[in-house]
Structure 1
Amino acid sequence: MTSTTRLLTRIATVTMGLTLAGAAAVATSGAASADRGEGRKVMLKGSTTASYFWDDASGRNGDTGLPASGKPMQKGLAASPSWPLMTEGYVVYKGKKAPFFVGDRGPGEPSNRGIMLDLDAKTFAELTGGKFNRDTLAVNGNGGKGHIKVQYVITKWGKGVGKKNHPVPFETRAWSKKDKNPAEPVVLKNEDKASKKKAKNKKTEAKKAAPKKTAPKIEDEAVKKAAAAVTAQAESKVAESTQAEKAAETAETVQTATVAASTEQTGNSSGVALAALIVVGSAGYVGSTLLAGRTATKRS
């Protein structure tokens, strides 16, 4: 394999590597989109104002007793004024995502004012940057937030009674009726802006932290050798061409001189014979020179 061939092979290898890297980048970008939930089918998506509660049957801070589902109070247990019990989903607040399941009924009267979801106090504390107070069952250290605007996504409806659509106030008693016309499932296109921005920032940070992949450098020495080989080959061909031209000129000169000598010495048999020998020798020299040049060219 010549230096030029090796050089071209290395260039092709580099190009293929860059192409595969681009494909991998595209594949990675698609995976990140799936992680954000885009393109996934869910039961319902919307927004509402959420409050918080913690009913552990202790009677503290407005505690009304054990949750209606019979499940013990726990992180992730939420109350809804109309969704079926054991409905599952998650909320998003300022880029933070928290799962929940409907284990109780509520809020009561606040649902008339658009507060359609009661999150457990521990989840509410995490979303707002506060801390759950075990003594008072309240959330402290979050700037006094008691209500927040959230986006909700329902991923699975409960099997019992209740409205399988956007929530309605508790007083409508939708929570006690079998829903025969549930909402059509929807496909998630984008999360809320804050969540999308957070995902983008994480992707940028990961890209900066990842080791940079650079194409292998083609050594200068290889380039120089390839250029020298091409130059030497060109010079060799020029030299062969020049040699052939000089041989042809010499043959032409000898032939002219021979003809002239033959004309001046007409009748001199030895002169004619000598001229003939010179012509034949010159022709042989020219022929061998041209043959050698062509052979060298084919071998190169």
Structure 2
Amino acid sequence: MQQRAINVVLTGVTGTALAGMLVAGVAAASDDSAPEKQFLSQQAVASQEHKTSPHGTLKNGESAAKAGSKAGEKSEKAGKSDVKRAKKDPKVLLSGKTTASYFWDDGSGVNGDTGAPAGGKPMQKGLFASPSWPMHTKVKVSYHGRTVTGFIGDRGPGEPSHRGVMLDLDTYTFRYLLDGGKPKSKYNAGTGEGHLKNVKWEVLSWGHGAGKKGKPRPFGS
């Protein structure tokens, strides 16, 4: 009887130990498989992201390929714009510097007015006089950062051209180049300055009227 009781106890202890070992084994097996499951899960997420965005994405969700296409379009438009500007910019045929005076000849005889402009067009802003250039030659004049484009519509100045004054500017152009202001009247620039030295001139196109192309020459030469 006593021996049987001991056997029962031993059997119970052994069973409990075996059960504990089995539980530990299961737990260990569960822990060992965790990293593998986690790795597989990360692979699945990466694969899904790759399928969803094959070209990569930007912060605002726009695809890199689409963004590159837009950048290319902008670059192409900018290039076309530069070409258009180059076509619009007139070619300078001849340039130099001279001393310029001012005049306003409208045929009224006021303040030494010698009559209507010789070029056949009425006196106006942007009408200049040259001692030698062909009538209707297109000219751009610049002085201290200010620029005006006009045309040759009259002859002059006369005697001063033999002293290096090779352009006669209308009163409005003269005053604007001087200080950006407006003249006191058509016949008076409203300033003590009667000449502007080192005025830059650029011939943009030669006129078909009477006169000589090339560097300006003194009146009558």
TM-score bin (small chain): 0.5 to 0.7
Give the superposition deviation at 1:73.
1.3
Residue matched to 2:213: 164
Residue matched to 2:50: 4
**CA separation of 1:22/1:94 partners in 2, compared to 1, >3 Å: closer, same or farther?**
farther
Paired letter, 2:220: E
**CA separation of 1:21/1:104 partners in 2, compared to 1, >3 Å: closer, same or farther?**
same
163, 175, 181: which one aligns with 1:130 = 181
SS in 1 for 2:141: strand
SS in 2 for 1:140: coil
Give the superposition deviation at 1:137.
1.0
Paired letter, 1:64: T
Tell me the matched-pair count: 168
Tell me the C-alpha RMSD between the 2 structures.
3.0
Paired letter, 2:200: Q
Paired letter, 2:49: S
Give the superposition deviation at 1:2.
2.7
SS in 2 for 1:152: strand
Residue matched to 2:41: none
Give unmatched runs, 5+ long, in structure 2: 1-46, 59-63
The separation in 1 between residues aligned to 2:86 and 2:190, in whole angstroms, is 36
Give the superposition deviation at 1:97.
2.5
44, 48, 55: which one aligns with 2:94 = 44
Give the superposition deviation at 1:82.
0.4
The separation in 1 between residues aligned to 2:75 and 2:162, in whole angstroms, is 53
The separation in 2 between residues aligned to 1:67 and 1:104, in whole angstroms, is 5
The separation in 1 between residues aligned to 2:190 and 2:122, in whole angstroms, is 23
Task: Tell me if 1:96 matches 2:146.
Answer: yes
Q: Which of the pair is proportionally richer in helix?
A: 1
SS in 2 for 1:171: coil
Residue matched to 1:149: 198
Give the superposition deviation at 1:120.
0.6
**CA separation of 1:82/1:31 partners in 2, compared to 1, >3 Å: closer, same or farther?**
same
Q: Mean alpha-carbon deviation: is it higher for 53-62 or for 161-170?
A: 53-62
Percent identity, please.
Answer: 46
The separation in 2 between residues aligned to 1:60 and 1:113, in whole angstroms, is 25
Spell out, residue by residue over 1:29-77, the C-alpha distance to the aligned partner (whole angstroms, 9 max, x if none).
725862882xx43432322222111012222222212112232211111
SS in 2 for 1:86: coil
Spell out, residue by residue over 1:229-257, the C-alpha distance to the aligned partner (whole angstroms, 9 max, x if none).
xxxxxxxxxxxxxxxxxxxxxxxxxxxxx
Residue matched to 2:86: 34
TM-score when normalising by structure 1: 0.48
Residue matched to 1:73: 123
51, 68, 74: which one aligns with 1:16 = 68
